[in-house]
Amino acid sequence: MSKKANQTSAALITILASSKDDGRSLYDNVYRAIRKAILERHLPPGSRLPSTRVLAGDLNVSRNTVESAYAQLEAEGFTRPHVGSGTYVRDVVVQRSGSVQKTAVGRRPMNPQETLSQRGKLIWSTGGCPEPLQVRAFSAGMPALEDFPTEIWQRLCSRRLRSMKGPMLGYGNPQGADQLRSVIAQYLATARGVRCIPEQILILTSSQQGLDLCVRLLADPREMVWLEDPGYLGARNAFLASGATVVPVPVDDEGLQVSVGTKKAPKARLAYVTPSHQYPTGVTLSLNRRIALLDWAEATKAWVIEDDYDSEFHYAGRPVAAIQGLAASDRVIYVGTFSKVMFPNLRIAYMVVPPALIDSFVTGRSLLDGHSPTFFQSVLADFMEGGHFAVHLRRMRLLYRARRDFLLDIAQERLSNWLEFGALDGGLQVPAYCKIPINDERFSKRASSVGLELPPISKLYLTEPAKPGWIVGFSALTPTQISSGMDRLSELLDTL
């Protein structure tokens, strides 16, 4: 045997010994060892593998085992046989796989400027829409997870699990399960004044997915989209990532200033609004502005995206009905989510789509991720049909109102020199504006170092002057958490 073949066998024996996994078959271990040697260039392009007989002897395995490993490598394009002279490592595959391998193990960090497409760079530059993974004072927009009726939920899950067989294991309807679409349509008609039939409902993984779909399907790159200023970062980033031009439209105590939008960008394709409970100010869009917005959309054939993310939680009287129900025309796309009224990990949201757009939205959705798991859609529909959803909402409304009142009482007692709260009628958080000029972003970092989560409001503004302050969540916090969080916050404010 040649010296080279000897060295190759020795390298393979070393790799095999270091990566051998007794849970895998012998053939698989040999195949993986050779593949690793090729990717890491212990076996460079053009080099010849030892004959199956020699390698089988060196590795002390059967010749069949080596032959199967060689056949697999050849089938995957790592090697090519040469009649009469043996098996050789291919060139091109080695270079490509080698670079994939390097990135995967993180030896060479990716430089997005070199690697990504123009679209990819845009997506990356937004920073995405990550949500905090833990609940602490003053996590915002988070339901009281400890108070969710898990026993009922588990019982309904178990019942559905028993029928999870046969056809239930196959693909589901990309538009969503019929039963869930019907219950949502009924619920929206009574609770939110939304006018729709189940055929207009599209089940989604999240509102975020809905915003992404809307901008992709309805606005071309550089076309204009109105965004409330200050406004929701998830919406801003979805629109920017798609290449749309985001036009900030200021918000006052009547909500979006429609007249400014019509002056700045009369030909915008989309307007994003949170009319029932503006994010983050909490104000409600006045009726005059609602009508002006719909008139503009109708006249210019623009679309209004109504993000109704937390209007179920209204603590003084009934919430204002959705704009979608007001519209004589079909220019409104209504987006709702179960992240707040149930729990975020459920990953079920929905959109009410005007009839003209249903087919294109269902097609677009099927390209994103097919459909949401039918299992949880069915359990959720059972939960709603069984009356548990209504009971849960009533309980949470009372709980959150009590938590909000508790937070405001303490804040009034201890923090009134520093903070002034914005609209308080509903939602899972309140904006707290700072009475003195302050860099709210820097303060948020200091707060984070003492275990407080206080997202700065100035980051949600697209134009100056931003009103400094923080978004203060209360719904997920017990009185003890609120009280100790307030202690830490007042200590920190005292150092200013």
Ligand X SMILES: Cc1ncc(COP(=O)(O)O)c(C=O)c1O
The answer to whether residues 322 and 192 touch, using CB atoms and an 8 Å cutoff, is: yes
* Helix/strand/coil for 431: strand
Helices (H), 271-387: 287-300, 358-369, 374-385
Q: Please, is 366 exposed, middle or buried when counting C-beta atoms within 10 Å of its C-beta (0-12, 13-18, 19+)?
A: middle
Q: Report the nearest approach of ligand X to the CB of residue 24 (Å).
A: 40
Residue among 56 and 227 whose Cβ is closer to ligand X: 227
> Measured from the CB of residue 59, what is the shortest distance to ligand X in angstroms?
53
Please provide the DSSP assignment of 251-276 as one string: EETTEE-HHHHHHH-TT-SEEEE--S
Kindly state the DSSP code that residue 181 receives in the 8-state scheme.
Answer: H
Rg over alpha carbons for the chain, rounded to the nearest Å, is: 29
Closest approach of ligand X to the CB of residue 205, in Å = 8
Give me 437's structure tokens.
Answer: 């000029």
Query: Between the CA of residue 151 and those of 157, 199, 434, 495, what are the distances in Å?
Result: 10, 32, 42, 46
Residue 348 DSSP label: -
If the CB atoms of residues 52 and 337 are measured against ligand X, the closer one turns out to be 337
For residue 142, the minimal CB distance to ligand X (Å) is: 8
The residue among 37 and 184 lying less far from ligand X, judged by its C-beta, is 184
214 CB-contact burial (10 Å; exposed 0-12 / middle 13-18 / buried 19+)? buried
> Looking at beta carbons only, is 233 or 358 nearer to ligand X?
233
**Residue 237 beta carbon to ligand X: minimum distance, rounded to whole angstroms:** 12
Q: Which residues face 250 on adjacent strands? A: 229
CB of 274 to ligand X, least distance (A): 5
Q: Would you say 307 or 453 has its CB closer to ligand X?
A: 307
Residues that bind ligand X (CB under 6 A): 141, 206-208, 232, 234, 274, 279, 307, 309, 337, 339, 344, 349
Closest distance to ligand X from the beta carbon of 445 (Å):
21
CB of residue 375 vs ligand X: minimum separation in angstroms?
A: 19
Q: What is the dihedral of CA 185, 191, 195, 196, to 10 degrees?
A: -10
Compare residues 50 and 143 and give the one whose CB is closer to ligand X.
Answer: 143
CA distance linking residue 303 with residue 293, whole number of Å:
10
